[in-house]
Structure 1
Amino acid sequence: MAHMVLAMPSPVLVGNTFYLRVRVPADVPSSKDGIAITLPVGSNLRRITMKDFVKVSLETREPRIAKERFSTAYAALQTVWKALKDGPKPITHKQSLAIAGEIRAAFIEAFDDDPGSIERWQRVLTANTSARAGKLNGLTIPTLTQQAKDMERRFGELADARLAAHGILLAPQHRQRLLTQVADGLDEMATINLAKAGGDYSDNGASQKYPTFEQSRPSANVVAQASSVSFSDVIDERVRRLSAGKDAAPPRDRTIDKYRLACEEFAAHRKSADVATVTATEADRWKRAMMEAGTLSNNTIGQRLQNVRTVIEWARKNSLGELYPHGNPLEVVERPSFQPKPSDLSTYTLAEAKTVLAAARKETANDLRWLPWVCAYSGARIEEVAQLTKGDFFKMGDDWFYRLTSMGGKKLKNRGSERRVPVHPALIDEGFIEFINKLNIKHDIRIFTTRPTQRISEWLRKSVGITRKELKPNHGWRHLFDDLCMLGGVIDAAKLYITGRMTGRSDAGYGKSDVMLPGLASEMKKISSIIAEDVTLR
């Protein structure tokens, strides 16, 4: 008896539009409420609910185009079916980052020739920030549940499309990490495309940060069983908790990255990412191995030990003390001794500062033109200044100020970093306030890119020619500003407030009320102009 040959499904004409409409195989797991899946249709992604049938418009009346789109969508659908049959799978941190990198690269390539307007990418960055904070809809209360919904709404379909391309149905406990990494990658993408829209193609988007995706395979490297709690799980939970609530203060991405780096290296050394099985002996051996390798300073090794210890402490708190009830196992591991580097080596010399500010005058990109100047005359961390919006600037009497705040999804080092900073007269003379007032953007749109640190550093080293290794290109302004305050006789309370350093003493409240802002501005005016020829540091 001849075998029956099943016909390959084909596009179905419904009205005057072609559709993909196929029955779901009996061996594919289903749900009475249906399963949400994402399929590619042309250059778009379409989110649909799969029940007994899968039906999605191919968005064309042309038979040839319909066949091409059907073929692509049906191949993706078969991958989805296989993933559903295989069941939810965990992915490693490296795989998750690779998927985020694929999404980032696709958007950079798609808009390389024609990035569109600057406003487009400013809107993208604003929407990404709102999704992280659970504020996509300004009328909703930004609860933890709302934040999860907004992250799904903003990034979920893109993540699912790439997961489907790799044949993965993701285990739920790994989803938040993936969405956060996708959000980070899309922030980078929007920043790069924003620069291109402004005529700056110096960053082509290529990055060694993102690895190539590789399917999981058995190895002697880091293995985290699905039932165990990994370092990454603990870090993700920490981010989730700190981001919850209306007045939450989410941790900075750079801060979380340093914990991930330390934990990944420790996990690789001990060949396990399971937090619950860490011993002090493992940590001490890791410390000694790093010291013997001789590639990291003892101070850096100590910081990485401390970062792992902190993550284990988060795990203890998450378990309400059930994990390691007798104490953190790294508590007894001694940090290596080190010779601290004198702070003056990290600081700009006056000659270097003048060179950088003079070079910035010749730049047209907002970041390179103004961020060095604002940091030089405030001692602010560059990540804080990069978050400024037009609405952060205000005038009181004859003096201009700007707010450094965590409101609106912005991030500061700590709550003590919330402050209002007087605009130094040198900045006004330079045309900074005129530049702000002429900006044709909404008051809640950021003026600068969200991640300028690397760009500024590369510009300083390669274009400006400041190559002294000990200098910290961005933090060095902070040290120099302290020196300028001392030279000008600025009172300590004002200096601490302006730079966002809180001591806990009663005088740390300087400048908190509007009444004291004029006095704060008077203290700022004591600081000499760096460009002026008569400035000499004592």
Structure 2
Amino acid sequence: MSNIVRRGAVYYFRRRVPAKIQAILGQKVIRESLGERDPKIARRKAAERALFWEREFAKAEAQLSAKSPQPQTRAELSEAEIAAILAGYRRHLLWSDEQIRLRGLGGQDNGLPDHQYDLLTEVLQDIEQFAADGIARGRALSPANRDTMDAYLGARGLRLDPSSRAYERVAIGFLHTRAECIQLWKDRHAGKIVETPSEPENPTSSVAASPNGISYEPLTLESLINGWKNERKPVPKTVDTFTQKLRKFEKYLNGRDLGSATPEDASKWKAKRLEEGNSPKSVLNDIHALKALFGWALENHKIAVNPFAKVRLLIKKKNTKKKRSYTDEEVKLILLTARSKKGGARWIPWIEATMGVRVNEAAQINRDDVKMIRNIACIEITDLFDDDDDEEEENIDGEDKSVKTESSRRTVPIPEFLIAEGFMKFVAGKKPGEPLFPDMKPDTYGHRGGTASKRVCRIVRVNLGIKDKRVSPNHSFRHWYKDLCRNSGINEEVHDALTGHAGKSEGRKYGDGFVVETLAPTVARLNWGRLNLG
């Protein structure tokens, strides 16, 4: 044999260590005295040592290939996960036996020579007796079985709590699986055909089985995000946000397939996020995002259960006062201060105050959006936004609210009060297709609203020193404009059309809405005398 040598009267076991793990074991060749003079007994002991060192090499290779910290200890496993682990271990045992028969006990032969075949016969008998004794005496938690199980699971990114019921069940399963495979090994030894299963060896990436017996393909981050994105059509920012949240959860699963996630995983992840110091609102947004993603997967038969379906997080609302409208005096001061500014800082506060538009809507206006429609100067709000403070809760379906707010897309007459301020002359100085406010730099997603919001906030908080937290520097303009409409005797349905608010009644959903000829006289009735700008 290639792994047994004789020195003097005593036989020694000899095995070369694979080059890639020599540094871990600290030696290039294993040399051990078998303490035997009888060649038959020496060969039998050498075969046992060969199997022992094959396991040690496997452990060292697993340690070498580990690229992440120790896997998170789990205390519970689903029935499907336990079945997948044992199926993977069964394949591993059959594959190992297959390799021994292909390459010999020393790993360098072509098949099993006669003397190795005889030795393997004796070894199988000993192992069979050992396994039967382990089952009969209930030794699933013996050190030998635990070491084998821990090494196998650890190499696959899974660690179980030794005190848990899941650990006991897997340990018993290992003992039974090994006994079953010994019989299959013996069948092979007798010349019968026993196939090695072709499923992936890693139990955490194998096909997940649902309680009703249906099998599902592995669910990757990319397949989940792309499938949800192609169907739901969210805006790019929402895609990026949801992807980041899903990536955090995937990292928590520590290499497990997303399709294997359980409600317990979701609940523990929620608790972990809170323990890490994340705000309840942030964690709630995480839950909403993942509930939407896994909900899509469930609807499309990618998984058996949505792990976040019943995860809840109650947030105690702060006892804060409601956002308030600007006073007439505050609006007057802001508009007068804006007169001394340039670009977006000059005109966006005026557009917000006199037309009730959102800051995002004002910031993105293009030269071509300002037009004459049947001799009425108008602005077409073409992009959809809904950044109202009272509507800022994240949509749990994973869709940007702007997509749902069709009323945001509208054509609004420009009030004479804004025209008299010189707005149309400012617009005339822009080229066709040019943004009105190029100084409002767009963000990664092409939106100028973030920069515009900061500029207006600077006027309100810094220049004028308005520190009242109930004031929202941009949104309070919409509150003020709605009051202006009410106090000018304008019908609610009409000023909802001007501001882009969706009506609550079913009837509001019918038809195309008001034409500019109807809205223009209404805009002309607005009482600007309240500001008294001179």
User: TM-score, normalising length from structure 1?
Assistant: 0.46
Higher Rg of the two aligned structures: 2
User: TM-score, normalising length from structure 2?
Assistant: 0.47
